């Protein structure tokens, strides 16, 4: 397996534009997590899904952020409209809930810059 795949790796956008980040979890994993990493706040959990169902979205900063998981192999995190304070590295991670190992595997991350 290629691991968790995120796209794009880098995104530079202007304030007010819509941004969509994409994630393909490891095949067979049934839990998917979106994290945001900044120097000030570290790794913050934004939202997570079990079996494609959102379980906890209390970490989503505000209504400008939304996430979907239409099927077991794909998830998106959308920011609309984007603001400079959204600049961060966004990580997607997946794990096998109920499996022998609950290790969370991270994707390479998307570095978002909003100017």
Partner 1 sequence: GENVEQHPSTLSVQEGDSAVIKCTYSDSASNYFPWYKQELGKRPQLIIDIRSNVGEKKDQRIAVTLNKTAKHFSLHITETQPEDSAVYFCAASRDSGYALNFGKGTSLLVTP
- Nearest distance in Å: CB 84, partner 1: 22
Q: How far apart are CA 106 and CA 24, in angstroms?
A: 11
Q: Which stretch in 18-26, 60-68, 79-87, 97-105 sits in contact with partner 1 by CB under 8 A? A: 97-105
Q: Which of residues 32-71 bind partner 1 (CB under 8 A)?
A: 33, 35, 41-43, 45, 48, 50, 55-56, 58
CB atoms within 10 A of CB 94: 27
For 69, the token pair is 């998981």
Q: How far apart are CA 31 and CA 55, in angstroms?
A: 10
Binding residues (CB under 8 A) for partner 1: these are 31, 33, 35, 41-43, 45, 48, 50, 55-56, 58, 91, 97-98, 102-109
């Amino acid at each position: 397996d290629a691991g968790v795949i995120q796209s794009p790796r880098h995104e530079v956008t202007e304030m007010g534009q819509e941004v969509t980040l994409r994630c393909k979890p490891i095949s067979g994993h049934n839990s998917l997590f979106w994290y945001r990493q900044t120097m000030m706040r570290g790794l913050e959990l934004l939202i997570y899904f079990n079996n494609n169902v959102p379980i906890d979205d209390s970490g989503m900063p505000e209504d400008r952020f939304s996430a979907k998981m239409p099927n077991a192999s794909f998830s998106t995190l959308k920011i609309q409209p984007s603001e400079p304070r959204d600049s961060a590295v966004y990580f997607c991670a997946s794990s096998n809930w109920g499996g022998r190992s609950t290790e969370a595997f991270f994707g390479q991350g998307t570095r978002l810059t909003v100017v």
